[in-house]
């Protein structure tokens, strides 16, 4: 029973961490975007994602009890306890990489939340329903930009090719279930992510075609580990920055 409960907590934390970490990455653009309207758009997406993260953390805190809050979960856990996918933590680099990262991730979230709406966990189902409205916009925005950059100029096209080369290896993990996800499926509250892979691939293939971009070959090695706390070196730096005040002034109210 205890193990089952812990699985649910891990599952919720995984969803929260995904949203927080990619939201945090997007927030790094605020004030530095390539054009004012898009600065606003990427910040808006960051806000939505951090909002989703808060909903999941608040629910996880409720499941854990013991005075746990959304902030103790976000600010007082270490790298190895974070369960986000590797894709979410990849650096912004340039606008092409940020856009492609968001497009891959929003496509995933779009199909994922559609299914999570039917979770037998009413909290998860409610969060998914609300988040889906936001993600529908994120997907439209990021796919339009992916197409624009792929099809735009020779320079933007080359940058998108480089972005694909940088990020494709992190997309496999999105559809490979770890233990707590498998338990979630068995218990009826989790999504069978292997079932959304084809939808994801079709959406990406269509957008790439319009963007005049080639899909990578099937045999690209896929990295994994994030969901089980084995991250890239980038996450530690994100957390060092994000958690600094909470760590420096333990117990303080802000």
Partner 1 sequence: MDDFEKNFQGKIDAEIKIEPKDWMPEKYRQTLIRQISQHAHSEIVGMLPEGNWITRAPSLKRKAILLAKVQDEAGHGLYLYAAAETLGTTREEMIDQLHSGQAKYSSIFNYPTLTWADIGAIGWLVDGAAIMNQVMLTRTSYGPYARAMVRICKEESFHQRQGFDILLTLSQGPDAQKNMCRDAINRWWWPSLMMFGPKDSDSTHSDQSMKWKIKRMGNDELRQKFVDMIAEQVKVLGMNLPDPDLKWNEEKNHYDFGEINWQEFWNVVKGNGPCNKQRLDARKKAWEQGAWVREAALAHANKVKLQTHKGTLEAA
Summarize as ranges the residues that interact with partner 1 (CB under 8 A). 20, 24, 27-28, 30-40, 43-44, 46-47, 50-51, 53-54, 57, 70-71, 74-75, 94-95, 147-149, 151-153, 155-156, 159, 241-242, 244-246, 249, 252-254
Element (H, E) at 148: helix 122-151
Nearer Cβ to partner 1, position 93 or 117? 93
| Least distance in angstroms from the C-beta of 97 to partner 1 | 12
| Least distance in angstroms from the C-beta of 45 to partner 1 | 10
First to last CA, the chain: 36
Nearer Cβ to partner 1, position 152 or 216? 152
Cα separation, 234 vs 225, whole angstroms: 14
Nearer Cβ to partner 1, position 28 or 129? 28
| Least distance in angstroms from the C-beta of 205 to partner 1 | 19
For residue 151, give both structure tokens: 């099809």
| Least distance in angstroms from the C-beta of 75 to partner 1 | 7
Nearer Cβ to partner 1, position 167 or 193? 167
Could you give the angle at the alpha carbon of 244 between the alpha carbons of 241 and 246, nearest 5°? 140
**DSSP class of residue 31?**
T
Q: How many CB atoms lie within 10 A of CB 37?
A: 8
Burial class of residue 74, CB neighbours in 10 A (0-12, 13-18, 19+) = buried
């Amino acid at each position: 029973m205890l193990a089952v409960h812990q699985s649910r907590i891990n599952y919720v934390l995984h969803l929260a961490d995904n949203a927080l970490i990619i939201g945090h990455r997007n927030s790094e653009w605020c004030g530095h975007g390539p054009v004012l309207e898009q600065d606003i758009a990427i910040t808006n997406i960051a806000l939505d994602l951090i909002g989703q993260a808060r909903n999941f953390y608040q629910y996880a805190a409720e499941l854990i009890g013991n005075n746990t809050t959304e902030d103790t979960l976000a600010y007082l856990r270490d790298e190895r306890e974070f369960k986000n996918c590797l894709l979410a933590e990849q650096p912004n680099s340039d606008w092409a990489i940020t856009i492609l990262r968001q497009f891959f991730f929003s496509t995933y979230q779009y199909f994922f939340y559609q299914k999570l709406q039917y979770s037998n966990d009413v909290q998860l189902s409610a969060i998914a329903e609300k988040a889906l409205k936001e993600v529908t916009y994120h997907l439209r925005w990021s796919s339009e930009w992916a197409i624009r950059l792929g099809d735009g100029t020779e320079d933007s096209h080359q940058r998108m090719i480089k972005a694909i080369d940088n990020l494709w290896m992190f997309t496999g993990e999105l559809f490979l279930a770890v233990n707590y996800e498998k338990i979630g499926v068995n218990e009826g509250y989790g999504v069978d992510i292997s079932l959304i892979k084809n939808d994801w691939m079709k959406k990406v293939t269509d957008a790439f075609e319009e963007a005049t971009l080639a899909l990578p070959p099937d045999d690209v090695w896929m990295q994994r580990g994030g969901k089980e706390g084995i991250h890239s070196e980038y996450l530690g730096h994100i957390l060092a920055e994000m958690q600094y005040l909470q760590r420096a002034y333990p117990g303080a109210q802000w």
